[in-house]
């Protein structure tokens, strides 16, 4: 009886660990095709949090990359840009039918 109990407990713990291993913390990038390029190019300047908290369309991700290049000296990404966009779209694509950020509030006089 005790042996069976211990066996059941051990199996339950193993199963729990297997499930826990798949959970990615909020501030880390999802594992997926192209994630190594995003790690290499994007996490040099800031944490993954800025990416993880976003949900953008492919066009908006491209705009964000251009913005990084214009304002923050992100280097040209060459052929790797497509792979990076594929990754961003697949893992942090637009979840809602919105333009990502809300529009600025009207100027208050
Ligand atoms: C050379 C430095 C640098 C690199 C490399 C860089 N970024 Fe950034 N990024 C910044 C800075 C600085 C900010 C915060 C200031 C801002 O939002 O203007 C930022 C902000 C962001 C934001 C938040 C923008 C917002 O509107 O809130 C996102 C999303 C982002 N980066 C994505 C990326 C991605 C994706 C890559 C890789 C393709 C990347 N960054 C590479 C400098 C960089």
State CA 36 to chain mean position distance. Answer: 12
Residue-by-residue pLDDT tens, the chain, 109 positions: 556 656 665 556 555 555 555 567 778 999 999 999 999 999 999 999 999 999 999 999 999 999 999 999 999 999 999 999 999 999 999 875 555 566 667 777 6
Distance of alpha carbon 97 from alpha carbon 60, whole angstroms: 13
Q: CB under 6 Å to ligand 1: residues?
A: 41-42, 44-46, 50-51, 54, 64-65, 68, 71-74, 84
Pick from 29, 46, 65, 81 the residue to mutate for probing ligand 1's pocket: most ligand atoms within 8 Å of its CB: 46
Closest to 91 measured CA to CA, from 47, 45, 48: 48
Closest to 87 measured CA to CA, from 77, 73, 96, 76: 77
Structure-token pair, residue 61: 């991700």
Distances (CA, A) of 93 to 26, 61, 70: 16, 9, 22
pTM (global) more than 0.85: no
Q: How many angstroms separate the alpha carbon of residue 84 from the centre of ligand 1?
A: 14
- Domain parsing of the chain, residue ranges: 25-99
């Amino acid at each position: 009886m005790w042996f069976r109990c211990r066996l059941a407990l051990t199996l339950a713990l193993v199963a729990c660990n297997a499930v826990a291993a798949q959970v990615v913390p909020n501030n880390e990038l999802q594992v997926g095709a192209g994630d190594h390029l995003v790690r290499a190019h994007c996490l040099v300047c800031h944490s993954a949090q800025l990416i993880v908290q976003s949900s953008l369309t492919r066009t908006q991700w491209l705009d964000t990359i251009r913005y990084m290049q214009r304002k923050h000296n992100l280097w040209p990404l060459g052929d790797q840009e497509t792979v990076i966009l594929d990754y961003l779209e697949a893992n942090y694509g637009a979840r809602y039918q919105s333009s990502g950020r809300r529009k600025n509030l009207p100027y208050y006089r």
